[in-house]
Amino acid sequence: MKNVALFAFAILGFCGNAFAGTPNPAENFEPAPVSKNAKRKDSVVTWLKPYARLARDFGVESAREGSAPLACAWRGETVNFRVAVAAGEKDLENLDYDKTVTLTLRLRTRAKKKSGGFIEMKATVSPVRWTVGQGGVQFADVVDPSGSKTSVPAGTVREFLVSVNVPADAVPGFYQGRFFVDAGGKKFVRLRVRVFPATLPPPQDWAIHLDLWQHPQSVARWAGVEPWSKEHFEALEAPMMRLRDLGQKVVTCSIIEEPWNHQTFDDWGSMVKWTRKANGKWKFDYSAFDAWVDFMMNKIGIDEQISCYSMLPWMMKIWYFDEASKTQESLVLNINTPEFSEVWGAFLSDFKKHLQKKGWLEKTCIALDERPDAQLNAARKVIEQFAPEFKIVSANDHPTKMSEFVYDISPTFNHSGGDVPALAEKRRGEGKKTTFYTCVHPAKPNSFTHSAPAEAHWLGFYAAANGFDGILRWAYNSWNKNPFETTAFGNWPAGDCFLVYPGNRASMRLTHFRNGLEDFEKIRILRERAALPGASEELKLSVKNLDAYLKENFTVAYGGGTEHEAQVKRATELLDFASFHLHSKKEK
């Protein structure tokens, strides 16, 4: 996660803020406009470029005329349009807008008579709410549920996200539709989608090794329910299904209290209760761990890997209940003492037996986050002695000598270039995973609230360009006190702690990020098909050209620059061109 401890949060104590007991009532909060456009007399409805950065007092001069750009899509893919409704001198209260949009394909075949001549698919429409990011600047980021009520104060703008979930059995061709808004009169923007014959598999079948860290305790606090209660799991269901539909592969588990020393608003409470009995032996209660893992694997469908944090907490401290004194106590463990091996040996031996009974042992990894090699090696030796069946996961600044012993490594983005792509290929041949990660750093590219919108999309192309198995990011939903009021928290860049909002609301950042994940999968499929016997020369050449562009432009050096939008646009063009040839008549 992060390699800087927030000592200010240590005063929260053992229980910390894991359960505040009452839900936050401000889900409909939106900050008042800082400024308004006094020049605009009439309302304006216009489409926006995919990565345009919107100001709340959006000017008429920014409006786009004519038809919206053509969006190309595979069957099974989600494509998005951005639309702006800018109010003039009058407030647009309870705006009347299309909650769904029908896009139609006009048939020119024999099927025309059977279908009436048209094939339809639907787009959903979601208003995008403003929140506060870095430096008090307002950003359009909160994607409200489709069809939500919304208003546009005079002199300001409201963005809408129009999403087309292309059916897996959609008829290929050109689809067109119109999004209508009553904003001082009926106005509309055109939507155009070209559907290719290629099909993107469902997210559960994507190959990308996506690891966005979940924070279930944050959901309990916001919902005002007891952790691990029936109500808690009900509140978790929708956001975790959204996570599954990103291609998530990993279940995040905390096996001790506060592995990262109170660096989030809500504590990371342990899913395992540690008890030292009166005779000095250890007892472990896995009730919460079992409930959480069972929920994620069997109810949600995220079932490839279980990552357990951590044998090496930042303060090297374990909290437990002392049966003799009937009090909560802490134990600081030094890797150079026999006690480190004794305590963790007792846990690992018991944990292994428990996981064998549950049938989860092969999927469970001990996660050692941002720790130096000396500590990693000490933990490895204990694991090999007591439970060699466990694999090791390690997010670290850069690969080290210890990396060869780690099943799933993830260097930071800034240290993921150079020889790391070649290392990733070698490790893949050994059945190991290699990803890269972003968190507080780098400044670019990232998915902070203030990040250029194309940066989040760029990350998926970068993973594909450099042969990574996937992407890691903390965190999916470590909410601050109220993310609708501000996305800032502590010393972290605004938006760093979460990509999804309470109430299962996506963010625009997550929307762009997901586009990159879909492109990662499409590139993988194109490469596989181009390598098959019988692949057309057009397909092989177009994939070759795409790969050459990716390799040259999606690098660590370019990641820190300002060309993300231009690079994503060009890579998308090359990807679409290769997609066109995937099912061409010349391909056997």
Give the H or E element holding residue 422. Answer: helix 420-429
Instruction: Tell me how far apart the alpha carbons of residues 584 and 535 are, in angstroms, rounded to a whole number.
Output: 10
Comparing C-alpha atoms, which of 363, 444, 447, 466 is closest to residue 407?
363
Q: What is the CA radius of gyration of the chain?
A: 25
pLDDT one digit per residue (tens) for the chain, 588 residues:
544 333 232 323 323 343 334 455 578 899 999 999 999 999 999 999 999 999 999 886 555 555 677 999 999 999 999 999 999 999 999 999 999 999 999 886 554 444 456 899 999 999 999 999 989 999 999 999 999 999 999 999 999 999 999 999 999 999 999 999 999 999 999 999 999 999 999 999 999 999 999 999 999 999 999 999 999 999 999 999 999 999 999 999 999 999 998 889 999 999 999 999 999 999 999 999 999 999 999 999 999 999 999 999 988 999 999 999 999 999 999 999 999 999 999 999 999 999 999 999 999 999 998 889 999 999 999 999 999 999 999 999 999 999 999 999 999 999 999 999 999 999 999 999 999 999 999 999 999 999 999 999 999 999 999 999 999 999 999 999 999 999 999 999 999 999 999 999 999 999 999 999 999 999 999 999 999 999 999 999 999 999 999 999 999 999 999 999 999 999 999 999 999 999 754 544
Instruction: Tell me how far apart the alpha carbons of residues 330 and 417 are, in angstroms, rounded to a whole number.
Output: 40
pLDDT value at residue 63: 52
pLDDT value at residue 461: 98
Give the H or E element holding residue 312. Answer: none
Comparing C-alpha atoms, which of 556, 515, 550 is closest to residue 413?
556
Kindly list the domain boundaries of the chain, sorted by start residue. Answer: 7-24+207-338+371-507, 44-199
pLDDT value at residue 8: 30
pLDDT value at residue 190: 93
CATH architecture of 44-199: Sandwich (2.60)
Order of strands, sheet of 391-396, starting from the edge strand that comes earlier in the sequence: 209-212, 470-473, 433-438, 408-411, 391-396, 364-367, 305-309, 250-254
